[in-house]
Amino acid sequence: MKKYGKFAALVVVIVGTLIWLATAGIKDNQTYYKTIAELGQMGDQAYSKRLRVGGDVGAGSIVRKGNVIEFVMVQEKLNLRVAYDGADPLPDTFRDGAQALADGKMGRDGVFHASKIQAKCASKYEAKPGGKPAAAPTYPSKASL
Amino acid sequence: MENIGALAVLLAFCVAIYSVIGSITGKLRRNPFLIVSAERAVYGVWFLITLSAAVLVSALLTGDFRFVYVAEVSNRAMPTIYKFTAWWGGQGGSLLLWSWLLSTYAAVVVFTNRRKHRDFMPYVVAVLSTVQTFFLILNTFVVSPFEMLAVDKAITAVPDGNGLNPLLQYPAMAIHPPMLYLGYVGFAVPFAFAVGSLITRQPGDDWIHTTRRWTMVTWLFQSCGIVLGAAWAYHVLGWGGYWNWDAVENASLLPWLGGTAFLHSVMMQEKKGMMKVWNMVLVSATFFLCIFGTFLTRSGVVSSVHAFARSQIGTYFVTFLAIGIAGTIYLILDRLSYLKSEAQLESVISRESSFMFNNLVLLASCFAVLWGTLFPVISEAVSKEKISLDAAWFNQLMIPIGLFLLVLTGVGPLFAWRRTSAESLRRNFTVPGISSLVLVGALAAAGVRNFYALISFGFCLFVAITIVMEFFRGARQIAAKNQMNLAHAVVELTHRNTRRYGGYLVHMGIVFMFIGFTGAAFNKSRVDEMKPGDSVTLGSYRLTLKDTHEGENDNYMWQKAAIEVSKNGEFLKVMEPESRLYKISSGRQPTHEVAVRTRLNEDLYLNFAGVNGDRAVIQSYVFPLVTWIWIGALTLIFGTLVALVPSKVKREYARTQVVGFTRKHVPVEK
C-alpha cells in the first residue's frame, strides 16, 4: 500500500497549499457591503475596514477635479460624499441617477474615498421586481393615456 | 400574433410534460408505441418553441412596441442585426433562447439515436424533457416575453422602445450569449445519457462513446463564449481588462472547468475502465453548474456589474437544482456496484496519476471560484454581514493553480500509462527542462523580477517544446517510412490520431493564452487631461493630441480625439478613440470606442474618457503580449476541430494505444 501513501501525501500537500492560499488572502481582500445608514452607525470601525457602499448617483453631482472624481451617492434620502481617485476609468454606465457601488474606505473628513466604482445599468432595460414594465422615461405614463 | 407566441409556449410546456410521462410509462409498461410517441413529442416541442421564437423575432424586427419585451430591448434606430440579437438582450428572450436551443439539441439527439440505444433512450428523452419542462415553466409563467403593454384592458403601443443596452451593440457581444448558451445547454445531453445509463444499469461505457463528440462540441462553444466575453470586455468597457472575476464571468468559467475535467477523465474510463463513479459525478456536476451559471446571471443573486436585475426566478432555479442534485446523488449511490473500477493506480509518475491530479486541481479551482463567487451569500447567511472577495483574492489563488495546470499540460502526456521509467523521463524532459531554465535565467538577467511571470514564461516554453517534440518525433518516423516531407508527415500524423494531436494543439493554445495572461504583469498606463497640441510619453510611445471633432447619426452622437502616435521618434499613425452618446436608450448613456494598435508584442490602447472644460481626458495603456490570448483561443478552437475529425487509422490507433485494455490489471505491490 506504499503507493497509496505517496498519492495521499501529494493530495494533502496540494489541497493544503490551496487552503492556505485561500485563507491567507481572505482578510486583506474582503470588502463589507454596507448601506449608507449602516455606515453612520458603525462608529470607529467604519474607518478601518474596506467597505462597499451602494446608492444612486445624485443628479448633477458628478464633478471632476483633476484626477479625482467627486459625486454624491443617495440611498433612502441619506447622502454620502464620495471621491474616486482610482486608476481605472469609470464605467460607461456611471452617470446621473445610475445605481453605483463604491469600494473604498471612509475618511475622517466624512468623505468616502473610493478606489473602485461599479455602476449597474439594471434599472435601464430590465423590469424591477414587482414593477413592470420598467419605469423608464420613454414610456408614456399610464395615467396620461 | 402575440397570442400565437404565448399559446405555442404553453402548448410546448404541455407536450414536454407528455414526453416525460410518455417515455417513462412506455419503458416501464414495455409499450414501444408510447415510447415512439414520446420521442415524436420532442419534435413537437421543437416546432412549437421555434414558432414562438419566430413570433418574438418578427416582433423585434418589425418594431412591434406593443410587446413589453420589444419596448424594453429594442428601438427604431437600431441596426437590423441588433434588432435580431435583441432576442437575447433581456431576461424573457434569453430564457426563450435557452429553451429553443435545448429543444433543438433534444430533437437532434432523438433523430440520431432513433435506431440506437433503444434500452436507455426513453430515459434520455425523459431527462431532456424534464429540463425542457423546467425552462418552459419559466417561459410561460414567470418571465414570458409575450406580455403586452396595456392601459386598463386595451393593448397599446409606445412610439419607440428603450433600445438595446449600447454596451451590447457590439459584434462579439451579439454572439457571446448564444455561444455560451450552446455550451451550457449542450451539457444536458451527456448528462441525460449518463442518467439513462445509470437507471438501466448499463455495464459498459456506451454513454461515454455516444456523447464524446457532444461533449467536445459543447466544450468548444463554451470556450468560444468565454473568450468572446473577454474580448468584448477588452474592446468595449474601456478599462483594458478582459477578466475581472466578476460573478457572471465566474458563472461561465465554472462549467468550463468542470467540463475540462470531464473531457480528461473520460479518457481514463475509455482506456482503462477507471474513474467510472468520478465521471458520473463530473458530468452531473458540470450540468448542474451550467444551470447554476444561468441562475447566477439571471437572478442577480450576487451583485455584479452585469445588468440583470434581481428577480423572483431565483426561487425556481434553486428548487430545480435542489431536486435535480438530490435525485442524481441518490441514483449514483444506488448504482455504485455497477461502476466498479477495472484497474488500479500503479505509480505516482504515470499517465493515470497525471489525469488524477489534473482532475483534482481543476475541481479544486472550480470549488475555489464557486466559493469566492458565493462568499457574499455565504457570509451573509453565517454572520449577517455581506462580505465580498475581490479580484486580488481570486488572483492570489488562481495564478498558482493555473501554473500548476500549465505544467501538468506539459508533463502529463509524456508520462506512460501505468508507470514511467527513469530513462524515458530523462529522454523526454532534458531538452525542455534545460531550455526553460535557460530562458528563466536570461529573463532574470534582463531585469524581469516578477516571480510568477518568470515561472510562467519558463513553464510556457517547457510545455511548448514538449508538444513540438511529440509532433516532430511522430512525423519524423512517418516521413522516413513513407518518403514524404516533414510538413506533410505532420498532417498525416495528426490525421492518423486526430484526438491525440488535436488535443496537443489545444494544449498549445492554452500555452499561448498563458503567455498573454503573463503579459499583464508588465502593463503600463496613464491618464491625462490634454489640450490640442499637448504631448505625453508612455513607454516608448509619444502621444500628441491633434484635435477633437464630433458628429452624429440616427443612433448616437460621437466625439473623436485624433491622437498622433510616434514610437522612438518615428511617426506611426493617427489613432482616433471615440466617445459615443446613444440617443434613445433612456438617459443618453455614453459608451467608449477605444482605439487599439495591435502588435504581437504589445497593444497600445487609447480611451477617450470624456471632456473636462476645454481639455480631453485621455487614458492610455500599453498591454504587452495581450494578443497571444486571442491567438491562443484560435489555436484552441482549431485544435478542438481537429480532434473532432474522425481518425484515419482507427485500428492502428486501437492497437498501439489500448494494450491490455481488456485484460484486468493485476495490482502490483511494490
Domain contains B662: no
Domain boundary residue among B374, B392, B410? Answer: B392
Q: Are residues B361 and B424 in the same domain?
A: no
pLDDT at A121: 54
Confidence at B306, pLDDT banded by 50, 70, 90: very low
Q: Are residues B232 and B379 in the same domain?
A: yes
Q: Is B368 on the interface with A (CB under 8 A)?
A: yes
Q: What is the CATH classification number for the domain harbouring B606?
A: 2.60.98
Give B-chain residues touching A21 at CB under 8 angstroms.
396-397, 400
Q: Are residues B405 and B357 in the same domain?
A: no
Contacts of residue B148, defined as CB under 8 A and 6 or more positions apart, other chains included, come to B2, B66, B67, B68, B155
Q: Is B390 on the interface with A (CB under 8 A)?
A: yes
Q: Which of B390, B452, B526, B621 to mutate to test the interface with A (most CBs of A within 10 A)?
A: B390
Q: Are residues B149 and B183 in the same domain?
A: no
Q: Are residues B174 and B299 in the same domain?
A: yes
Q: Are residues B469 and B383 in the same domain?
A: no
Domain boundary residue among B163, B178, B193? Answer: B163
Range of the domain at B445: 396-517+632-657
Q: Are residues B152 and B206 in the same domain?
A: no
Domain ranges of chain A: 1-30, 32-121
> pTM of the full predicted structure?
0.86
How far is the alpha carbon of A113 from chain B, nearest alpha carbon, in Å? Answer: 17
Q: Are residues B322 and B181 in the same domain?
A: yes
Give exposure, B290-320, as e/b (b: 16+ Cβ within 10 Å): bbbbbbbbbbbbbbbbbbbbebebeebbeeb
- The CA-CA-CA angle for residues B19, B25, B31, to 5°, reads 100
Q: Measured between CB atoms, which of A26, A66, A128 is closest to B309? A: A128
Place of cell 532534458: B430
Could you read off the pLDDT of B571-605 as tens digits, one per residue?
888 999 988 887 765 555 677 888 999 999 999 99
Domain contains B669: no
> Over pLDDT 70: what percentage of chain B?
93
How far is the alpha carbon of A109 from chain B, nearest alpha carbon, in Å? Answer: 25
How far is the alpha carbon of A139 from chain B, nearest alpha carbon, in Å? Answer: 6
Number of independent structural domains in chain B: 4
Give exposure, B362-399, as e/b (b: 16+ Cβ within 10 Å): bbbbbebbbebbbbbeebeeeeeebbbbbbebbbbbbb
How far is the alpha carbon of A110 from chain B, nearest alpha carbon, in Å? Answer: 23
Confidence at A99, pLDDT banded by 50, 70, 90: confident
Give A-chain residues touching B307 at CB under 8 angstroms.
93, 120-122, 124-126
**Least confident interval from B279-283, B288-292, B421-425:** B421-425
- pLDDT exceeds 80 at position B568: yes
Q: Are residues B125 and B247 in the same domain?
A: no
Domain A32-121 adopts which CATH fold?
Answer: OB fold (Dihydrolipoamide Acetyltransferase, E2P) (2.40.50)
Confidence at B307, pLDDT banded by 50, 70, 90: very low
Q: Are residues B566 and B420 in the same domain?
A: no
**Least confident interval from B272-281, B438-447, B492-501, B584-593:** B584-593
Q: Are residues B152 and B300 in the same domain?
A: no
Q: Check residues B4 and A5 and name the one with the higher pLDDT.
A: B4
Q: Check residues B156 and B175 and name the one with the higher pLDDT.
A: B175
| Chain B residue closest in CA terms to A89 | B239
Q: Is the dihedral of CA B483, B484, B490, B491 positive or negative?
A: negative
Q: Which of B168, B299, B303 to mutate to test the interface with A (most CBs of A within 10 A)?
A: B303
pLDDT at B117: 83
Q: What is the complex's ipTM, to 2 decimals? A: 0.70
In the beta sheet, which residues pair with residue B382?
none
Q: Are residues B145 and B183 in the same domain?
A: no
How far is the alpha carbon of A92 from chain B, nearest alpha carbon, in Å? Answer: 5
pLDDT at B311: 60
Could you read off the pLDDT of B251-285 as tens digits, one per residue?
899 999 999 999 998 888 888 878 888 889 999 99
Confidence at B56, pLDDT banded by 50, 70, 90: very high
Q: Are B181 and B101 in contact (CB under 8 A)?
A: yes
- The CA-CA-CA angle for residues B105, B215, B95, to 5°, reads 40
With CB atoms and an 8 Å threshold, state whether B388 touches A134: no
| Chain B residue closest in CA terms to A130 | B311
pLDDT at A130: 29
pLDDT at A48: 79
Domain boundary residue among B101, B129, B163? Answer: B163
Task: State the pairing for strand pair B602-612/B615-624.
Answer: antiparallel
